């Protein structure tokens, strides 16, 4: 695989070249750890490129058109939209990526396309990046959600768990930012107060039920936990599902203001009357509908497959349910 990259910058007073293997993407230059060497020997870099170009075989006349067709089918970022003649990606495209995934392999491919879509639209987060991403948010949040006790956690840990604001190295609001959940924030912030510690212990007991549950016990155990957390009036439906999804990202999803409509569309959640699809934001605001959502999720062809052997694939497998949010989330939703 021929993978080196050469970037040449020419200016009035100084020229330079960057040489390395970093792709020309937001993830590689803003998020990932890459190695790129900078040199002022631009002439040497140009000579190297010319020699490589000269050694290449002539390009087949149909290769460019074949590339355009392949990229149209795969989905492209904003930067390639003009080249291949495809409209910019968006929520509709991301939903289509999820619906078209008919195996675990295709689900991983859909996640990569979803990441390209978000980056192509210029947002500050990605799906698979080491920081400021869904994977990073879930990984960091899961460690805190699974603590045996939430009493006395630090301000930073509270921020990550509740998604209160963007951290220096993360986008903790993914999976539902709880910035408006002032009462819940206050309980965590003053967790040593007896009344608050009792509430946190009760909510954490519900989380423990899903942590210890076997796969065949879902979604019953999830709905029961959701009802238990909901008994604490300060904990909204969105807050409860975020905490559940962070605790068991392999089995549970967050239902937040930005994801409800997309989840309903993606998994065809209906009213009990059966009179068509109810795509209103309140569709999933009841435990029985969360049960229906999980049943549809577990029936998805990609969900029950088997993970690959690579480290990344195993990581994604263990958070495959919670990652659905990356396909359905609508930024700035007022729902």
Q: Say if 81 falls within a structural domain.
A: no
> Residues 202, 308: one domain?
yes
Query: Same domain for 295 and 168?
Result: yes
> Considering Cα of 266, then 272, then 274, then 279, what sign does the dihedral take?
negative
Q: What pLDDT shows up at residue 244? A: 96
CA distance 181 to 113: 33
Q: Give yes or no: residues 21 and 151 share one domain.
A: no
Q: Could you tell me the two tokens for 276? A: 């068509």
Please count the other Cβ atoms lying within 10 Å of the Cβ belonging to residue 37. Answer: 8
Same domain, 301 and 208: yes
Q: Report how far apart, in Å, the C-alpha atoms of 256 and of each of 5, 59, 218, 230, 330 are.
A: 41, 49, 20, 15, 10
Distances in whole angstroms, Cα of residue 122 to Cα of each of 26, 115, 117, 265: 9, 11, 9, 25
Q: What is the pLDDT of residues 72-108, one digit of tens each?
A: 665 554 444 444 444 444 678 899 999 999 999 999 9
Contact 7, 18 (CB under 8 A): yes
> Are 311 and 192 members of one domain?
yes
Torsion over CA: 83, 87, 90, 93 (sign): negative
pLDDT of residue 146: 96
Hey, which bits of the chain come out as E strands? 5-10, 15-20, 36-39
DSSP conformation class of 12: S
Residues 157 and 275 in one domain: yes
Residue 186's domain comprises 134-328
Residue 85 lies inside a defined structural domain of this protein: no
116 in a domain, yes or no?
Answer: no
Q: Is residue 22 part of a domain?
A: yes
C-alpha–C-alpha distance, residues 133 and 125, integer Å? 5
In sign, the C-alpha dihedral spanning 280, 207, 138, 313 is negative
Q: Are residues 275 and 139 in the same domain?
A: yes
Task: Look at residue 97 and tell me if it is in a domain.
Answer: no
Q: What is the pLDDT of residue 129?
A: 85
Q: Return d(Cα 60, Cα 69) in angstroms, integer.
A: 15
Same domain, 145 and 273: yes
Q: Which of 73-87, 124-138, 142-156, 209-223 has the lowest mean pLDDT?
A: 73-87
Place of tokens 């009344």: 195
Residue 309: C-alpha distances to residues 152, 313, 315 (Å):
38, 7, 10
Question: Are 23 and 146 in the same domain?
Answer: no
pLDDT of residue 178: 67
* pTM over the 0.75 mark: no
Residue 107's pLDDT is 95
The tokens for 233 are: 């009036």
Residue 1 confidence (pLDDT): 63
Does residue 144 share a domain with residue 46?
Answer: no
* Domain-terminating residue out of 36, 55, 74: 55
Structurally, the chain folds into a number of domains equal to 2
Residues written for the chain: 335
| C-alpha–C-alpha distance, residues 326 and 306, integer Å | 21
pLDDT in tens, 140-184: 999 999 999 999 999 889 889 988 865 455 678 898 876 555 788
Per-residue pLDDT tens for 33-76?
A: 888 999 998 889 889 888 888 888 887 878 877 877 776 665 55
pLDDT digits (tens, 9 = 90+) for 280-295: 556 677 777 899 899 9
Let me know if residue 200 belongs to a domain. yes
pLDDT band for position 202 (50/70/90)?
A: very high
Contacts of 111 (CB under 8 A, 6+ apart): 127, 128, 316, 323, 326
Instruction: Look at residue 99 and tell me if it is in a domain.
Output: no
């Amino acid at each position: 695989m021929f993978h080196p990259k050469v970037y040449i910058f020419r200016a009035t007073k100084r020229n330079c070249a960057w040489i390395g293997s970093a792709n020309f993407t937001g993830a590689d230059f803003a998020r990932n750890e890459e190695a790129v060497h900078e040199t002022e020997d631009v002439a040497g870099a140009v000579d190297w490129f010319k020699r490589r170009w000269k050694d290449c075989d002539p390009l087949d006349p149909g290769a460019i058109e074949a590339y355009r067709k392949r990229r149209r089918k795969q989905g492209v970022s904003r930067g390639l939209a003009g080249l291949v003649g495809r409209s910019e990606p968006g929520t509709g495209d991301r939903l289509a990526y999820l619906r078209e995934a008919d195996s675990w392999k295709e689900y991983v491919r859909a996640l990569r396309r979803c990441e390209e879509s978000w980056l192509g639209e210029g947002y500050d987060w990605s799906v698979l990046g080491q920081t400021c991403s869904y994977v990073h948010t879930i990984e960091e949040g899961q460690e805190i959600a699974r603590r045996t006790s939430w009493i006395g956690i630090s301000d930073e840990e509270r921020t990550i768990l509740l998604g209160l604001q963007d951290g220096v190295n993360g986008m903790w609001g993914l999976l539902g930012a709880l910035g408006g959940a002032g009462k819940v924030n206050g309980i965590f912030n003053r967790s040593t107060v007896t009344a608050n510690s009792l509430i946190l212990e009760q909510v954490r007991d519900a989380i423990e039920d899903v942590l210890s549950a076997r796969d065949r016990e879902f979604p019953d155990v999830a709905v029961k936990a959701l009802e238990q957390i909901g008994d604490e009036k300060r904990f909204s439906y969105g807050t409860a599902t975020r905490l559940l999804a962070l605790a068991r990202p392999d089995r549970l999803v967050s239902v937040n203001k930005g994801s409800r409509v997309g989840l309903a569309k993606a998994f065809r959640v209906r009213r009990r009357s059966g009179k068509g699809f109810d795509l209103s934001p309140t569709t999933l605001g009841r435990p029985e509908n969360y049960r229906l959502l999980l049943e549809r999720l577990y029936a998805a062809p990609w969900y029950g497959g088997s993970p690959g052997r690579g480290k990344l694939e195993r990581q994604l497998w263990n958070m495959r349910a919670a990652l659905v949010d990356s396909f359905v989330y609508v930024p700035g939703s007022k729902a």
